[in-house]
Structure 1
């Protein structure tokens, strides 16, 4: 067969460049954008897959609380050390969900599975919102994915993060049922369910609904459209709320500045601050180019204001204002209404992927260290009284995943530990022994460079049989008579010389 003439070959070769350019500048199809977003949604669960132990800061203490709750007083040691009092409160999402799941697959697998579900479920919520608003998936969702792994998720705020995922799906349903005159019917129970999962999530749903309705009506009467969501106010008023439910804390101005700087705090200072800067610049550019969808734009503005107006403590929970920063940025990115060219759509999730890769790497390393640290449990009898101590480096940036690792002693050894969230009037978990103050944060010591860590007079150790230390800075002293039973590079377990308590 004769070869093509040189002129024909030249035309084909010179046409390849323009073809690639046309593809890059073309708009993505609705199917292409959807498939890309769904793939990234599944990918968001990767940290839970690469790590043997979820590296969420508060996770071990939550897991211990679930275990005490599920035990119901059958374990003699748990019954002796702990009380669990159910309360109707806006912070029960995973507490209720783990009940049937743990019965099926066990406590630790159930906690892991729920955590693994939350990021993809949040991504599906983002996809649902953009799809129902625009019938396409573009840079809005792909940029918003970055904020799934926010500090709230890294810290292990399970109930809040689950509620946010469900709120996005609920808001998508609100938009989808816009023309139905009885839309209020399903949203009365939905509003109650969102509040039961987490009160802050319920508040975010109210803001999203108000912002959407305000854009349509251009009137404050839009607040009346949110009436199906107000019914959780009844149990809130009847219960009277938790002690210390509203508090700004000290140094409000400095704290507000600090939480904004740390808006996406995770592993790398440079990357985390750059993430915040990029998000704000993109939102500013979109606003100047009039590419903000008002149906989400008003909610974004309200959420941004709330990050400054909200107190730090709300409903017994901490960082109520802090966790809203990532939510406001997520909704802000979702509000970007721009049918961008293909190359920009595929570029949009790069920040999400880079951050996810760094998180996966850190989880894999820290999980291996957790496995080594937990070998200390082999030297601890069931029902031990343990004074945990975690040294937190004041100058460190990465969130410390080991702050509540000592709570695994309760999960696996039915031990009394001082790292639980068990403040009377605030939490459902109560301690019967250990004395006043044998709860979070009595196990934390903030270490400043140049200073020594002294443990000879560590108060919780006076109420314990064992002292379990975890930290990068080793102590300069131990309680008198302490005997080291087990040690790793950054942890050790000692038997204390306290007089044994009759059991």
Structure 2
């Protein structure tokens, strides 16, 4: 029996080795999904505002209170994927649950996309793309730019499809690529550019490697690459987003911050330690020949760096346009890593370090989300004091806060009033050209239609009975227009900023809720 056990060990070892990669993948996927599963309303900056729009879209046809304020004007907007996916799900589940499903889909695409590229490029699976797991939570994620990140995930799979079909007929690649481009357009316009840039980088390498025997098919290859992008031009020209084309700002400062956003979470010292470990390990491995990049990956890195340096900070009205790019590049480049992990580098050490880094990142997210959930709970309790169908103005304290986590959790938290009380809130996303949600003419003047900053307390006091000098704003004469006012970023027990027009209702961590004379 002892001899039989010894003879069985090699077979058992081979069986275990063959399952380490899928088992590790399953374990890491469960780990990164856990914070989302346990927080129905995660503290991502823009996320609750998007969910408020999802609630309106889901309930508008059956809720006369919402119909008094809102309407949907469908248009060709390159930012519609959440509007197309979440409301149908919300009809069967709650809007919060549908939002969780959307986030989980986004995470799944981001962590599997590099593996798909790697498999298409090298013809086999490798542990390297699993490095996507500790990177899936990042500064762009915490900003709540979920349409862009989901578009990045789709772009990853689109690149994998292009590489996998590269030896097929050009028309086959063109048809598949056309479908990918169309889906990406409705995810996010920047995702279209990301996909096009990566495919271009791969094609530059491919055509150079095959320049002698592919000369006769050059025009067919160029057509297969370019044709799927041709419909983007008429689509964007027909889109109201084109009206935002003048909103373009380029800044040289902040480029390094964009790179940092790829690893940023809640504590700079921990983020820098994580980045240092990854960079240090990468340099050590590269020096010893255990880490390499496919030539097409080097082309992508060079092309992406140039695009990043030239890209404006604001494009088509979208802020931090350039700073979104590095995190997407990191996910893409993972797919181009040389697959060999034998020799100097131990697979066991790799898996151990990978799991440790991922669990550390997930733990940091989970701990901070649990702490920030107190803000959501306070806001939900305060909102319960608001009657259904109220008009709510959001303002900010004069003293700005430097607590980034507080801003992420609180800046759009008043939109909970839309979800739970069918309210009209002044900061709801309804910018023409960016969203299909529209405010009816009777209330359009009470909402920020320019995606700007809420008024400060000083501005409120100054405009309680007069208009803003030289440039009237939506909060002018606010005591007669709104029922309630949220003041954000306040200190505990802060004094009533305007006792003549405001009556204290409730407060929570970082905010106070007041009722106006109109709401009495």
Tell me the TM-score range normalised by the shorter chain: 0.7 to 0.9
Q: How far apart, in 2, do the equivalents of 1:162 and 1:377 lie? A: 31
2: CA distance between counterparts of 1:30 and 1:203? 37
Once residues 469 and 173 of structure 1 are traced to their aligned partners in structure 2, the CA distance between those partners, rounded to angstroms, is 49
Q: Give the direction of change, closer, same or farther, for the CA distance of 1:471–1:151 in structure 2 (3 Å limit).
A: same
SS in structure 2 of the partner of residue 443 of structure 1: coil
Cα deviation for residue 248 of structure 1 reads 4.6
Report the number of matched residues.
Answer: 470
Residue 312 of structure 1, CA deviation: 2.0
Q: Which residue of 2 aligns with 1:122?
A: 110
Match of 1:492 in 2: 512
Per-residue Cα deviation, 1:83-123 (whole angstroms, up to 9, x for no partner): 33211121111110113211221322211221123212321
Seen in structure 2, the aligned counterparts of structure 1 residues 203 and 372 have a Cα distance that, compared at 3 Å, is same
- Cα displacement (A) at 1:492: 2.8
Return closer, same or farther for 1:244/1:283 CA change in 2, 3 Å cut-off: farther
Identify which of 489, 493, 498 aligns with 1:479. Answer: 498
> Displacement of 1:277 after TM fit?
4.6
Q: State the match for 1:201 in structure 2.
A: 191
Distance 1:435 1:135 in 2: 58
Give distance in 1, aligned partners of 2:126 and 2:185.
31
1:424 equivalent to 2:432? Answer yes
Q: CA deviation at 1:41?
A: 2.3
- Looking at structure 2, the residues matched to 244 and 282 of structure 1 have their Cα atoms a distance apart, in angstroms, of 43
Deviation at 1:495, TM superposition (A): 1.0
Deviation at 1:337, TM superposition (A): 1.3
Q: Distance in 1 between matches of 2:370 and 2:420?
A: 22
Structural mapping, 1:54-453, within 5 Å: 54-72=42-60, 74-181=62-169, 182-218=172-208, 224-230=223-229, 231-239=231-239, 241-245=241-245, 247-249=247-249, 252-280=251-279, 289=289, 291-340=292-341, 341-346=346-351, 347-389=353-395, 394-398=401-405, 400-431=408-439, 432=441, 433=443, 435=445, 438=448, 440-443=451-454
Query: 2:77·2:435 contact (CA, 8 Å) conserved in 1?
Result: no
User: Alignment partner of 1:382: what SS?
Assistant: coil
Which residue matches 2:467?
Answer: none
Aligned partners of 1:159 and 1:197 also within 8 Å: yes
**CA distances 1:241-299 after superposition (whole Å, capped 9, x unpaired):** 4333354537x122334433444332111122344455555566666657111233322
* Closer, same or farther: CA 240–233 of 1 in aligned 2, 3 Å: same
Shift in alpha-carbon separation, 1:241–1:397, aligned structure 2, 3 A: closer
SS in 2 for 1:83: strand
CA-atom RMSD in angstroms: 3.2
Please, which runs of 5 or more residues in structure 1 have no aligned partner? 1-18, 446-451
* C-alpha separation in 2, matches of 1:426 and 1:382: 27
Deviation readout 1:191-246 (Å, 9 max, x if unpaired): 21111221111221112212222222228977655224313223123337433335
